[in-house]
Amino acid sequence: MLDFSSSVNKILTTKYIGRPFIYMDTTESTQDEVARYGLSGASEGLAVGAGYQSRGRGRLDREWLSTKGASILVSVLLRPEEHHVSHIVIMAALALESFVKELDENVPVRIKWPNDILIEGKKVAGILVERIPANNTSDKDVVVLGMGVNLNLDTSKISEISSISTSLYNFTGKQFDLINGYGTLFKNLEIYYEHLKTGTDLLSQWRQKLITLGRTVKITDGEEEFIGFAENVDETGSLIVRRKDGTKFNVIAGDAHLLS
């Protein structure tokens, strides 16, 4: 029987995303694995997937939970041009939305600012973009794009996340093939990354799809917490929120909880 990485390799249709694809049954976090490869000179597209992460992490120092072999847990090495770095998260959100639709067109998948992929208000996938500064073995910063997709994870059995997370299995009642999942995700990622590189206006596509705009939101941004109206996003992807007193606030890296 082929091992997991060879099986993914066999069905890959991409030119460089997921090439090579390294699969580990268990690791602390695929983010750290890819950062190491990146700093030692690996080329763009290298991806590390894991069956289980003992210290999977999300944005804002949160944990990213999984059970063995139930989710896509993957990090991809990117070497974007400087002016594309702030749009990597936008590109990945569009790729993930398209990926979920390709797996099942009847799933009502939505994007919530900045990086949450939701089904009926619950998170099915998340994106973590980390920039690793150059060191003495690498003269350029590296970008590690991490994605967690709850494919067959039964979130209803995990009390810490059951009220806020879902999975494709939980929504459809179907089991999804992980190998095909990786292949399809890499394909969508390469399509959208190529769009980014060739100057397609991904910001407008993302803006149109965001369920956050035009809604009242509760913002939690470090020490700040306030309620306002989510008006727009700026060219870097920050959320522009108008407070009750009319002043505007640009939220760069917080959470926007939908109130209406």
Judged by beta carbon, residue 45 or residue 126, the one nearer ligand BTN is 126
Judged by beta carbon, residue 47 or residue 203, the one nearer ligand BTN is 47
Radius of gyration of the chain (CA): 18
CA–CA dist 30, 213 (Å, integer): 32
Least Cβ distance, residue 253 to ligand BTN (angstroms): 11
Judged by beta carbon, residue 20 or residue 58, the one nearer ligand BTN is 58
Which residues make up the interface to ligand BTN (CB under 6 A)? 29-31, 53, 56-59, 62, 64, 73-75, 115, 126-128, 146-148
Q: Supply the DSSP symbol for 42.
A: P
Least Cβ distance, residue 85 to ligand BTN (angstroms): 17
Helix %, strand %, coil % for the chain, to 5?
30, 30, 40
Q: Which of 238, 243, 185 is nearest to 210 (CA)?
A: 238
Do residues 192 and 185 touch, judged by C-beta distance below 8 A? Answer: no
Judged by beta carbon, residue 47 or residue 233, the one nearer ligand BTN is 47
Least Cβ distance, residue 230 to ligand BTN (angstroms): 19
- The burial class, CB within 10 Å (0-12 / 13-18 / 19+), for 188 is buried
Say which amino acid occupies 192.
Y
Do residues 18 and 12 touch, judged by C-beta distance below 8 A? Answer: yes
Least Cβ distance, residue 199 to ligand BTN (angstroms): 27
Do residues 144 and 82 touch, judged by C-beta distance below 8 A? Answer: no
Judged by beta carbon, residue 50 or residue 233, the one nearer ligand BTN is 50
Count Cα neighbours of 172 within 13 Å in the Cβ-side half-sphere: 20
Least Cβ distance, residue 89 to ligand BTN (angstroms): 10
Instruction: State both tokens at 88.
Output: 């990597």
Least Cβ distance, residue 149 to ligand BTN (angstroms): 8
Least Cβ distance, residue 148 to ligand BTN (angstroms): 3
Do residues 93 and 162 touch, judged by C-beta distance below 8 A? Answer: no
Residue nearest to ligand BTN (CB): 126
Judged by beta carbon, residue 75 or residue 170, the one nearer ligand BTN is 75
Judged by beta carbon, residue 111 or residue 213, the one nearer ligand BTN is 111
Instruction: State both tokens at 120.
Output: 């009926």
Paired sense of beta strands 116-119 and 122-132, if any: antiparallel
Do residues 26 and 55 touch, judged by C-beta distance below 8 A? Answer: no
